[in-house]
Amino acid sequence: MKGADLEGADLEGADLSDIKDDLSKVLDAAPDEVEGLRAALVEGRINGSTYEGECACLVGTIANVRKCHFKKLGNLKPDSNRPSERWFLMFRPTPGHKPDHHEGARITLGWIDEWLAKRKETANAVKGGA
Protein backbone atom coordinates (compact mmCIF):
# COMPACT_ATOMS: atom_id res chain seq x y z
CA MET A 1 0.00 0.00 0.00
CA LYS A 2 3.03 2.29 -0.23
CA GLY A 3 2.06 5.69 -1.52
CA ALA A 4 -1.64 4.85 -1.70
CA ASP A 5 -3.79 7.89 -2.42
CA LEU A 6 -7.40 7.19 -1.57
CA GLU A 7 -8.70 10.70 -2.14
CA GLY A 8 -11.93 10.16 -4.04
CA ALA A 9 -11.65 6.37 -3.70
CA ASP A 10 -14.78 4.28 -3.24
CA LEU A 11 -13.99 1.47 -0.82
CA GLU A 12 -17.59 0.35 -0.39
CA GLY A 13 -17.64 -3.42 -0.36
CA ALA A 14 -13.90 -3.76 0.33
CA ASP A 15 -13.10 -6.26 3.08
CA LEU A 16 -11.10 -4.20 5.55
CA SER A 17 -11.98 -6.33 8.58
CA ASP A 18 -8.38 -7.47 9.23
CA ILE A 19 -7.24 -3.85 9.37
CA LYS A 20 -10.15 -2.77 11.57
CA ASP A 21 -9.63 -5.70 13.96
CA ASP A 22 -5.93 -4.97 14.23
CA LEU A 23 -6.58 -1.27 14.85
CA SER A 24 -8.96 -2.24 17.66
CA LYS A 25 -6.16 -4.28 19.25
CA VAL A 26 -3.85 -1.27 19.04
CA LEU A 27 -6.51 0.98 20.59
CA ASP A 28 -7.13 -1.60 23.32
CA ALA A 29 -3.41 -1.46 24.13
CA ALA A 30 -3.45 2.35 24.43
CA PRO A 31 -6.97 3.41 25.48
CA ASP A 32 -5.89 6.64 27.17
CA GLU A 33 -4.29 7.88 23.94
CA VAL A 34 -7.19 7.18 21.57
CA GLU A 35 -8.74 10.66 21.84
CA GLY A 36 -5.34 12.19 20.99
CA LEU A 37 -4.92 9.83 18.04
CA ARG A 38 -8.39 10.79 16.86
CA ALA A 39 -7.57 14.49 17.10
CA ALA A 40 -4.35 14.00 15.12
CA LEU A 41 -6.28 12.19 12.38
CA VAL A 42 -8.98 14.87 12.21
CA GLU A 43 -6.35 17.63 12.12
CA GLY A 44 -4.29 15.89 9.42
CA ARG A 45 -1.29 15.34 11.71
CA ILE A 46 -0.55 11.74 10.69
CA ASN A 47 2.51 10.75 8.69
CA GLY A 48 2.33 7.02 8.21
CA SER A 49 5.92 6.76 7.01
CA THR A 50 7.65 7.61 10.29
CA TYR A 51 7.52 6.60 13.95
CA GLU A 52 8.98 9.90 15.14
CA GLY A 53 8.20 13.58 14.78
CA GLU A 54 5.29 15.90 15.36
CA CYS A 55 3.35 14.09 12.65
CA ALA A 56 3.94 10.37 13.01
CA CYS A 57 2.37 7.03 12.16
CA LEU A 58 -0.16 5.12 14.24
CA VAL A 59 2.23 3.92 16.95
CA GLY A 60 4.32 7.09 16.75
CA THR A 61 1.24 9.26 17.27
CA ILE A 62 0.21 7.17 20.26
CA ALA A 63 3.73 7.67 21.66
CA ASN A 64 3.46 11.42 21.02
CA VAL A 65 0.16 11.57 22.89
CA ARG A 66 1.67 9.57 25.76
CA LYS A 67 4.79 11.79 25.60
CA CYS A 68 7.21 8.91 25.37
CA HIS A 69 9.44 7.20 22.82
CA PHE A 70 7.63 4.83 20.47
CA LYS A 71 9.73 1.92 21.75
CA LYS A 72 8.55 2.63 25.33
CA LEU A 73 4.85 1.81 24.91
CA GLY A 74 4.86 -1.38 26.99
CA ASN A 75 2.87 -4.14 25.27
CA LEU A 76 2.32 -2.02 22.16
CA LYS A 77 5.36 -2.66 19.99
CA PRO A 78 6.08 -1.00 16.65
CA ASP A 79 5.47 -3.53 13.88
CA SER A 80 5.57 -2.30 10.31
CA ASN A 81 3.92 -5.55 9.20
CA ARG A 82 0.80 -5.17 11.31
CA PRO A 83 -2.25 -4.43 9.14
CA SER A 84 -3.20 -1.17 10.87
CA GLU A 85 0.32 0.25 10.61
CA ARG A 86 0.40 -0.63 6.91
CA TRP A 87 -3.02 1.06 6.54
CA PHE A 88 -1.63 4.23 8.14
CA LEU A 89 1.12 4.35 5.48
CA MET A 90 -1.35 6.14 3.21
CA PHE A 91 -1.56 9.19 5.48
CA ARG A 92 0.54 12.30 5.06
CA PRO A 93 0.31 15.53 7.06
CA THR A 94 -1.57 17.45 4.38
CA PRO A 95 -5.05 18.98 4.32
CA GLY A 96 -6.07 16.42 1.69
CA HIS A 97 -5.48 13.58 4.13
CA LYS A 98 -8.14 14.65 6.61
CA PRO A 99 -11.39 12.67 6.96
CA ASP A 100 -13.41 15.28 5.06
CA HIS A 101 -11.27 14.76 1.91
CA HIS A 102 -9.76 11.28 2.20
CA GLU A 103 -11.72 8.04 2.15
CA GLY A 104 -9.11 6.13 4.17
CA ALA A 105 -9.07 8.81 6.87
CA ARG A 106 -12.89 8.89 6.91
CA ILE A 107 -13.03 5.10 7.36
CA THR A 108 -10.37 5.20 10.08
CA LEU A 109 -12.21 7.95 11.94
CA GLY A 110 -15.35 5.83 11.84
CA TRP A 111 -13.49 2.86 13.30
CA ILE A 112 -12.02 5.00 16.08
CA ASP A 113 -15.42 6.53 16.87
CA GLU A 114 -16.98 3.06 16.93
CA TRP A 115 -14.25 1.87 19.34
CA LEU A 116 -14.82 4.91 21.57
CA ALA A 117 -18.59 4.33 21.59
CA LYS A 118 -18.14 0.68 22.58
CA ARG A 119 -15.75 1.69 25.35
CA LYS A 120 -18.23 4.27 26.66
CA GLU A 121 -21.06 1.73 26.47
CA THR A 122 -18.98 -0.81 28.41
CA ALA A 123 -18.04 1.78 31.04
CA ASN A 124 -21.70 2.78 31.44
CA ALA A 125 -22.75 -0.86 31.77
CA VAL A 126 -20.14 -1.41 34.47
CA LYS A 127 -21.32 1.70 36.35
CA GLY A 128 -24.95 0.67 36.01
CA GLY A 129 -24.29 -2.89 37.12
CA ALA A 130 -22.09 -1.97 40.07
Domains identified in the chain, total number: 1
Is pTM beyond 0.85 here?
A: yes
Residue 1 lies in a domain: no
Mean pLDDT throughout 89-94?
92
Residue at 92 is within a domain: yes
Identify the domain containing residue 109 by its residue range: 32-120
Cα–Cα distance between 100 and 130 in angstroms, integer?
40
Domain-embedded: residue 5: no
In tens, the pLDDT along 32-45 reads 999 999 999 999 99
Whether residue 19 lies inside any domain: the answer is no
Top pLDDT among 53 and 1 is at 53
